[in-house]
Amino acid sequence: MSDKQSTHFGYREVDNDAKADLVANVFHSVASRYDLMNDLMSGGIHRIWKRFAIELSGVRKGNAVLDIAGGTGDLAARFSRIVGDQGRVVLADINDSMLRVGRDKLIDTAHQGNIEFVQADAQDLPFPDDSFDCVTIAFGLRNVTDKDRALRSMLRVLKPGGRLLVLEFSKPESELLGRAYDGYSFRVLPLMGRLVVGDSDSYQYLAESIRMHPDQETLKQMMEDAGFARVEYHNMTGGIVALHRGVKA
């Protein structure tokens, strides 16, 4: 058993095989109130972060877009309007609870016309090579067991010239902001999780997983190692969140 590869689940070291189930349990637990919690936790700013990601995506009418870990469909809804009838948006999530909440929400808001829903693992995307003009993953990469494998899989399904956008929590630029953010993450978030979703452990995991996620420069290097060109990142809200963008050459 000692030769089994391990990874992080928050601050815990777990077997690679176990992480997917542990993450799945977190998202099964929070799916029904995921949007509400996001608004509460970020003061609504997560909508601004996602909006910025959409602007940098360069998605146009008629494009094919894959939104991985698309969860409750915030990005997919907006992409659906941009690509129009001639375009295609695939909302993929490994977690069926999240996918169900997202699908219901998008159907309720009349967005289903050009959107497909696919339960898929980011590490092994079930799409042919060169399928999409743009791939996005917002607040999802840190939950993936093997991030390098996932990045290679994303590169494979992108068309040449296609863009990958990774929106993810990152490392605050200033130490002072970092300390304030730590206090918020480890004291306020679990409490909020307990009050709103009835689950403080999931939000404890959220705070821990953010700290364990690669910082801006490390993720940039990982994207370049996976084969992406012109990789750049934009810090948002003092680096609490960063948007990385890379192009398939």
Partner 1 sequence: MGPSPTLHTAALAGLEGLLNRALALDPESGRALAALDGRVFALDCTAPHFQVYLLPSTDGLQLAGHWEGEVTTRVRGEAADFAELATATDPAAALINGNLTLEGDSAPLIELQKALAGLELDWEAPLVDNLGDVAGHQLAEAFRGLFSFSRQAHASLERQLEEFIHEEARLSPPRLELEDFYRDVGTLAERSERLASRIERLKARIRRLSQ
Site string for partner 1, 71-110 (x = CB under 8 A): ----------x-----------------------------
Nearer to partner 1, 202 or 216 (CB): 216
205, 197 contact by CB (below 8 A): no
Alpha helix (H) residue ranges in the chain: 16-30, 34-42, 45-57, 74-83, 96-108, 147-157, 175-183, 189-196, 200-212, 216-226
The one among 6, 17, 47, 119 contacting partner 1 by CB under 8 A: 47
Nearer to partner 1, 62 or 198 (CB): 62
The one among 28, 52, 186, 201 contacting partner 1 by CB under 8 A: 52
Check residue 236 for interaction with partner 1 (CB under 8 A).
Answer: yes
Residue 93 assigned to a binding site: yes
Q: How many Å apart are CA 209 and CA 135, to the nearest integer?
A: 22
Torsion angle of the four alpha carbons 121, 169, 236, 172, in this order, in degrees rounded to the nearest 10 = -160
Nearer to partner 1, 44 or 198 (CB): 44
Report residue 156 as tokens.
């494979």
Which residues inside 122-181 make contact with partner 1, applying CB under 8 A? none
Q: Residues 46, 47, 52, CA angle at the centre, nearest 5°?
A: 95
**SS3 category, 99:** helix
Nearer to partner 1, 58 or 178 (CB): 58
The one among 14, 22, 48, 118 contacting partner 1 by CB under 8 A: 48
**SS3 category, 129:** coil
Residue 77 assigned to a binding site: no
Question: Least distance (Å) from partner 1 to the CB of residue 225?
Answer: 25
Torsion angle of the four alpha carbons 193, 199, 200, 202, in this order, in degrees rounded to the nearest 10 = -90
Nearer to partner 1, 191 or 249 (CB): 249
- Stated as kind and residue range, the H or E segment containing 92 is strand 88-93
Residue 35 assigned to a binding site: no
Residue 39 assigned to a binding site: no
Binding site membership for S-adenosyl-L-methionine: which residues?
Answer: 72, 93, 121-122
| Residues engaged in binding partner 1 (CB under 8 A) | 45, 47-49, 51-52, 55-56, 58, 60, 81, 234-237, 243
